[in-house]
Amino acid sequence: MKQTSVLLADDHTLIRAGLRMVVDAQPDLTVVGEASDGREAVAMAGKLKPDVVVMDIGMPSLNGIEASRQIRAALPDTQVVMLSMHSDEGYVLRALKAGAKAYLLKDSAEADLARAIRAATAGKSFFSPAVGQVLLQDYMRRLQRTGGEDSYELLTPREREILQLVAEGKSSKEIANLLNLSVYTVETHRAKLMQKLNLRSVPEVILYAVRKGIIS
Amino acid sequence: MATLSMSTDTGALREPTPPSSKLRWLFLWVSVLLLALLLVSRVLAVRFLSEMHTQELAATRALAERTRALSGLCLSMQSYDQAVQQFVAQTAADRDAEARRRLDQLTLEIDADFERYPIVRDSEEDALLNGMRGVFSQQRTFYITILAARPAERKRQAESMLAGHVVPIQKQILDWSGKLQVWNIERLQQADRGLVTQFANLQGSLSRVLAIGFGSGLLLVLGGMAYIVRLDRQTRARYVELARSRHALQQLSARLVDAQESERRAISRELHDEVGQALGALLVDIGRLSTTLSGDHPEVKAQLDNLKSVAERTFQTVRNIALLLRPSMLDDLGLAAALEWQGREVSRRSEIEVSVESESVPESLPDEYKIYIYRLVQEALNNAVRHSGARNAKVVVERLARSIVVRVTDDGRGFDPGRSRGMGILGMEERVKRLGGTLRVESQPGKGAIVTADLPIPAGGDA
């Protein structure tokens, strides 16, 4: 079995120790290093080239978001699982924009960490269930108050299909292969659905999908 | 330390005694008295002068009267003398009776002249007048004897009689009249001297009054000046004191705001780092324990689940308190993200839907700016939630050429900014002032509210 190498980055020793035990308990995961702040995480990732970095958002000297951006820019094959105390969409969206694949709340980190790491390695998104709930609640409340329509209803079945695949992290080419369509057609559908939903980037598409419960 | 110097200053600040009104009344009364004195002395002097003028006129008139009476008297006596001489010189007996009547008439005239002479109750004048009268009656007695004689005899004796008696008597009469005249002139001079003395007296008392008036006026002016100078100095001292204490107060409140912020930050960090992380570690351990035990001991697992949910709740509470004290996204994600988060938070827990536009905010703002702008928006939104009953609120943070504008608008019921200025607005003002900016609160009942803060671009901020 191929071992997945994991780098842990958290400024708290207690948390790191807990996380390490969780990861090491899994036969297919190995902790290759521990960093106590963002700068150290970037440096160690560059040296160890791990498959996954588990990163806390709030860290001194360089925070997790900025560290993720630097790691993702330098090492495209290394995925980031973000750990956070906050389920707010500001955090989630910024984590996604910084290149994180998974977003875990610290209070449920233990239960979902292994799954999140595995999803990230496979290039898929993963979010703590609570995150999806909060995002959905916010969205529903806004719709209710502003009297707006749920634009999801405006999508065609094909567009919904493509929305889910985009949110799962697949490229247009992969989607084209999967659905037996031309890349051009997929791009057109993709542009159309993003316009209908008023989304401007892939992270926003992912966020939307999480919010709607399309992916988790 | 300003706080220390303030506490020593409090002695000077203690209940400033208002300047006593007694002194004011004293000044007023003295001034009134002084003016009254000058007025009275002027009236008296004028009356006195006119009296003196009357006296002088009276004296002159009296002299003229007496001179006229005296010359009339002398004239009458001379006429009498001439009549007697004529009578003596003529011999015709038939004309005796006529001459006698004439003489009697003249005698009556002279008596009348004497009676008419203005007599003052003055013994000297009386004596002179009586002397003259005496000489005249002596003359008459003598003439009467002559008249009694027959005409021939009269004519014979006339020469010697005239030389022996009439001339000396006439001379005597002239003497008396001269004495009277001299006495009259003396009297005039006496009156003049009296007037001069009176005038000198008047002059003296007038200059005394003037001296007193001038002296007390001078005193009044000096006293007034001294009082004004004292008041002036007091006012200046008080002004300086006021300015200093206002400055100290401003510094104090600025420091309070700073202190509050750093306190909050410290407590929040402590909560987050210590309590939060310990709870997080605990949760991880409980989770692992519960996985390890799964299936073997269902009752232990139930207890562990219970433990876990308690720890989770505590974890969330601690996180919320920490966030309230210091929004960690301000440090993690920057101002724009923190403001958006706040907007969503307010939307979540209140009836207001908040929209946030803060894309143009430079993330390189100094920490002080970030936290103050954040607190400003927080306070404005809190006010809107608590008092306005608004449905929508909008937060706009814009970077302009020379300033950063923070504007919070709501569509609530509004208020009168002139009247209700709560602690919230005071706190906002304090923070805005701390950054050297201005705060404007615009609202009208029924028209919502706009809170606008205009902040200068910080020196270290990016251009």
Query: Per-domain residue ranges for chain A?
Result: 4-132, 149-211
Could you tell me which chain A residue has the CA closest to the CA of B341?
A90
Q: Could you give phi then psi for residue B342, rounded to 5 degrees?
A: -60, -45
Q: How far apart are CA B272 and CA B266, in angstroms?
A: 10
Of A14, A19, A109, the CB nearest to B278: A14
Neighbouring C-beta atoms of residue B290, cutoff 10 Å: 19
What's the rounded mean pLDDT across residues B26-49? 88
What CATH number is associated with residue B418?
3.30.565.10
Q: Which of B223, B250, B269 is the last residue of a domain?
A: B223
Per-residue pLDDT at B5: 38
B299 lies in some domain: no
Does any CB of chain B come closer than 8 Å to the CB of residue A22? yes
SS3 B352: coil
Q: Which CATH class is domain A4-132?
A: alpha beta
B53 lies in some domain: yes
Per-residue pLDDT at B358: 86
Q: How far apart are CA B290 and CA B285, in angstroms?
A: 8
How far away is chain A from the Cα of B356, in angstroms, using its nearest Cα?
A: 12
Q: Which of B188, B223, B258 is the last residue of a domain?
A: B223
The distance from CA A8 to its chain's CA centroid, rounded to whole angstroms, is 16
Per-residue pLDDT at A78: 94
Residue indicated by tokens 């820019």: A73
Residues B49 and B190 in one domain: yes
Does residue B315 surpass a pLDDT of 60? Answer: yes
* Region of poorest pLDDT, from B39-43, B167-171, B336-340, B366-370: B167-171
Q: Could you give phi then psi for residue B420, rounded to 5 degrees?
A: -95, 110
Give the pLDDT band (50/70/90) at residue B444: confident
Does any CB of chain B come closer than 8 Å to the CB of residue A18? yes
Cβ B284–A15 below 8 Å, yes or no?
Answer: yes
Does any CB of chain B come closer than 8 Å to the CB of residue A28? no
How do A4-9 and A29-35 pair as beta strands? Answer: parallel
Cβ B277–A14 below 8 Å, yes or no?
Answer: yes
Does residue B405 surpass a pLDDT of 90? Answer: yes
Give the pLDDT band (50/70/90) at residue B13: very low
- Residue B434 half-sphere exposure toward CB, CA atoms < 13 A: 25
What's the rounded mean pLDDT across residues B410-434? 79
Assigned token pair, B352: 């207001």
Does residue B93 surpass a pLDDT of 90? Answer: no
Mean pLDDT of chain B: 82
Give the pLDDT band (50/70/90) at residue B460: low
Assigned token pair, A73: 């820019």
Q: How far apart are CA B182 and CA B241, in angstroms?
A: 87
Instruction: Print pLDDT tens along chain A (216 aa).
Output: 678 999 999 988 888 888 898 899 899 999 999 999 999 999 999 999 999 999 998 887 888 999 999 999 999 999 999 998 888 888 888 898 899 999 998 877 778 899 999 999 988 888 888 888 888 887 788 777 776 667 788 888 899 889 999 888 888 899 999 889 899 999 999 999 888 888 888 888 888 888 887 876
Could you tell me which chain A residue has the CA closest to the CA of B291?
A111
Cβ atoms A161, A192 nearer than 8 A: no
Does residue B343 surpass a pLDDT of 80? Answer: yes
| Of A68, A91, A88, the residue nearest A80 (C-alpha) | A68
Q: How far apart are CA B284 and CA A80, in angstroms?
A: 20
Assigned token pair, B451: 């809170």
Q: Could you tell me which residues of chain B have a Cβ less than 8 Å from any Cβ in chain A?
A: 272-273, 276-278, 280-281, 283-288, 291, 312, 315-316, 319, 328-329, 331-333, 337-338, 340-341, 344-345, 347-348, 353, 391
Architecture of domain A149-211: Orthogonal Bundle (1.10)
ipTM of the complex: 0.75
Residues of B in contact with A31 (CB under 8 A): none
Per-residue pLDDT at A4: 93
Per-residue pLDDT at B15: 55
Q: Could you give phi then psi for residue B337, rounded to 5 degrees?
A: -65, -40
Residues of A in contact with B318 (CB under 8 A): none
Q: How far apart are CA A57 and CA A54, in angstroms?
A: 10
Strand segments (E) across A57-159: 79-84, 102-105, 126-127
Q: How far apart are CA B429 and CA B442, in angstroms?
A: 14
B176 lies in some domain: yes
Give the pLDDT band (50/70/90) at residue B3: very low
How far away is chain B from the Cα of A100, in angstroms, using its nearest Cα?
A: 15
Could you tell me which chain A residue has the CA closest to the CA of B281?
A15
Per-residue pLDDT at B19: 57
Residue indicated by tokens 């020793």: A13
Percent share of chain B, pLDDT over 70? 91
The single-letter DSSP state of residue B357 is E
Per-residue pLDDT at B92: 66
Residues of B in contact with A18 (CB under 8 A): 280-281, 284-285, 288
Q: Could you give phi then psi for residue B455, rounded to 5 degrees?
A: -115, 135
Cβ atoms B369, B458 nearer than 8 A: yes
Per-residue pLDDT at A154: 82
B461 lies in some domain: no
Total tally of structural domains belonging to chain B: 2
Per-residue pLDDT at A73: 94
B249 lies in some domain: no
Per-residue pLDDT at B9: 42
Cβ A91–B328 below 8 Å, yes or no?
Answer: no
Assigned token pair, B124: 């000297």
Cβ atoms A8, B284 nearer than 8 A: no
Per-residue pLDDT at B91: 61
Domain that holds residue B334: 328-456
B140 lies in some domain: yes
Amino acid at B339: L
Q: Which of B161, B191, B223 is the last residue of a domain?
A: B223
Residues of B in contact with A15 (CB under 8 A): 277, 280-281, 284
Q: Which residues contact A15 (CB under 8 A, 6 or more apart)?
A: A56, A106, B277, B280, B281, B284
Per-residue pLDDT at A54: 95
What's the rounded mean pLDDT across residues B287-296? 79
The distance from CA B434 to its chain's CA centroid, rounded to whole angstroms, is 41
B183 lies in some domain: yes
Of A22, A137, A146, the CB nearest to B288: A22
B444 conformational bin, left if phi > 0, alpha if psi -120 to 50, beta if neither:
beta
Residues of B in contact with A98 (CB under 8 A): none
Q: How far apart are CA B289 and CA B127, in angstroms?
A: 158
How far away is chain B from the Cα of A47, in angstroms, using its nearest Cα?
A: 25
SS3 B450: strand
How far away is chain A from the Cα of B388, in angstroms, using its nearest Cα?
A: 17
Q: How far apart are CA A93 and CA A205, in angstroms?
A: 10
Residues of A in contact with B319 (CB under 8 A): 85-86
How far away is chain A from the Cα of B342, in angstroms, using its nearest Cα?
A: 10
Q: Which residues contact B309 (CB under 8 A, 6 or more apart)?
A: none
Cβ atoms A18, A33 nearer than 8 A: no
Percent share of chain B, pLDDT over 90? 14
